[in-house]
Amino acid sequence: MTQLINWFSQVLAVSLFNFRSLPMRAGSSAAAAVGIAGVVAVLVGFLSIAEGFRKAVISSGADDIALVLRSGADSEMSSGLDRDDVRVIADAPGVARQLDGPLASAELFVIIDLPKRSTHTSANVPLRGVEKAAISVRGNLKVIQGRAFEPGKNEVMVGAGAARAFSGLDLGRKIRVGQNDWDVVGIFTAGGGLAESEIWTDAAVLQPAYNRGSSFQSVYAKLSSAGAFTAFKDSLTADPRLKVKVLRQSEYLAEQSTSVTGFIRSIGVFIAALMALGALFGALNTMYSAVSARTREIATLRALGFGAGPVVVSVMFESLGLALMGGAFGAVGAYFAFNGFQASTMNWQTFSQVAFAFTVTPSLLINAIVWAAIIGLLGGLFPAMRAARLPIAAALRET
């Protein structure tokens, strides 16, 4: 026990000694810390894009909402259902009902060209035609400005994300679809979900505008409970009149986000890994020169009877301290630089734009700090070992 205490007091003494000489090595220490701050900021930046995109796409996905597509379709965009299919689906078991009928909405999903506010270049903005049950089916839709569109009229309401990202989607403005002008009468939120990137209108008005006759692309159905999904799905897939596939909304959305988030994450991790390597070299250099600048001091301490262990640990401490300082700096910087940054990009599965905000989550920050700590430990380990192995007599003579 006394040995342990002695050991710790040695570590403390050597570490204090090291930290006191830190200002003399301020330049190179700062450069190493900045390098690590850079790694952390980049990692956080990339992951916050992936996280924000994922959140925008999947966060509103519910287990008790089912999505029905034509079998073989990979997204609403490529799906197609006719009026008869829709009726069969709405009457299937498991669909929640209200006084005026089943909670099911047959929908159209198309895109419309609108300019981005940021670049004024045209972008594929998703335009969704819905039936009147749609809002009750979703459950999380809230009109925050203006009002909902009126069925049968050339009116649209706009998701808050789309309103921010694309020109012309302001309350009271008109957007042009083919030969007709449609009024923007409302702006809505949908719990941060994908619907906020969309423009909504009455399906019956959208069908002729896009030459869709009486066909739809998907049916959204609110189920009586999440558990009713299997019965609902089985009854539809077993029905000889239909060729459909049935998904939970949550599953569908998760699938929709994989391509883009996977891409961003893999590129992000690849780049952060390379960068971590660069920062590691920087940290190693800094710590090696820290050790070599103090060769004489370290040897003096060793000659006075300090053990090799405390010397190693103290060097590691310093390196870890620098790394964590840099890491914290990078994480805080990244939080302020990236969190909430509004952007939009294309969702490859539907060719349509998703508006989202970069999202820095606590777990993401922890993740980044862990990287910093690993760099710090590795960057300190080898120089520390060199310090411990210094031949005392020779090092004492060193100038």
Partner 1 sequence: MKFLPLVWCNLKRKKLRTSLTILSILVAFLLFGFLCALKQSLTVGVSMAGADRLIARHKISLIMLLPESYKARMQRIPGVAAAVHQTWFGGIYQDPKNFFASMPVEPAEFRAMFPEFVLPDEQVKAWETKRNGGIVGRVTAERFGWKIGDRIPIRSPIWQRAGGNDGWEFDLVGIFDGAKKGTDLSQFFFRYDYFDEARARGKGQVGWYTVRIENPENAAEIARTIDAEFANSPYETKTEPEGAFAQGFAQQVGDIGKMLIAILSAVFFTILLVAGNTMAQAVRERTEELGVLKAMGFTNELVLALVLAESMVITAAGGLAGLGLAWLVAANGSPAPSILPVFYLPPRDVLIGVGLVGALGLVAGLLPAVQAMRLQIAVALRRQG
The site for partner 1 (CB under 8 A) is made up of: 27-28, 31-32, 34-35, 37-39, 41-42, 45-46, 49, 71-75, 77-79, 110-113, 116, 118-119, 121-124, 177-179, 209-211, 243, 259, 263-264, 266-267, 270-271, 274-275, 277-279, 281-282, 284-286, 288-289, 343-346, 348, 351, 353, 399
Q: Long-range pairs for 112-115 at CB < 8 Å and ≥24 separation? A: 112/175, 112/177, 112/199, 114/166, 114/167, 114/168, 114/169, 114/175, 115/166, 115/167, 115/168
Nearer to partner 1, 91 or 113 (CB): 113
Nearer to partner 1, 284 or 368 (CB): 284
Within its chain, how far is the Cα of 189 from the centroid? 19
Give the CA distances from residue 128 to residues 94, 105, 211, 344, 377, in Å, rounded to whole numbers and listed in that order. Answer: 25, 11, 14, 18, 53
Question: What is the C-alpha separation between 199 and 221, in angstroms, rounded?
Answer: 20
Q: State in angstroms the smallest separation of the CB of 124 from partner 1.
A: 6
In 194-287, at which residue ranges do the beta strands (DSSP E only) sit? Answer: 199-202, 218-222, 244-248
Give the CA distances from residue 255 to residues 196, 260, 326, 355, in Å, rounded to whole numbers and listed in that order. Answer: 18, 10, 37, 17
Q: State in angstroms the smallest separation of the CB of 228 from partner 1.
A: 27
At a CB cut-off of 8 Å and minimum separation 6, what does 295 contact?
390, 395, 398
Q: How many CA atoms lie within 13 Å of 243's alpha carbon, on the beta-carbon side?
A: 5
Question: What is the C-alpha separation between 218 and 83, in angstroms, rounded?
Answer: 11
Q: State in angstroms the smallest separation of the CB of 47 from partner 1.
A: 11
Question: What is the C-alpha separation between 160 and 131, in angstroms, rounded?
Answer: 20
Q: State in angstroms the smallest separation of the CB of 72 from partner 1.
A: 4
Nearer to partner 1, 258 or 300 (CB): 258
Nearer to partner 1, 19 or 281 (CB): 281
In 138-253, at which residue ranges do the beta strands (DSSP E only) sit? Answer: 142-146, 155-159, 174-177, 180-189, 199-202, 218-222, 244-248
Nearer to partner 1, 44 or 96 (CB): 44
Nearer to partner 1, 137 or 334 (CB): 334
State the CB neighbour count (10 A cutoff) for residue 161.
25
Residue with tokens 């799905």: 233
Q: State in angstroms the smallest separation of the CB of 273 from partner 1.
A: 10
Q: State in angstroms the smallest separation of the CB of 282 from partner 1.
A: 4
Q: State in angstroms the smallest separation of the CB of 209 from partner 1.
A: 8
Nearer to partner 1, 37 or 158 (CB): 37
State the CB neighbour count (10 A cutoff) for residue 52.
26
Question: What is the C-alpha separation between 87 and 95, in angstroms, rounded?
Answer: 12
Q: State in angstroms the smallest separation of the CB of 392 from partner 1.
A: 21
Q: State in angstroms the smallest separation of the CB of 112 from partner 1.
A: 6
Nearer to partner 1, 122 or 225 (CB): 122
Nearer to partner 1, 16 or 267 (CB): 267
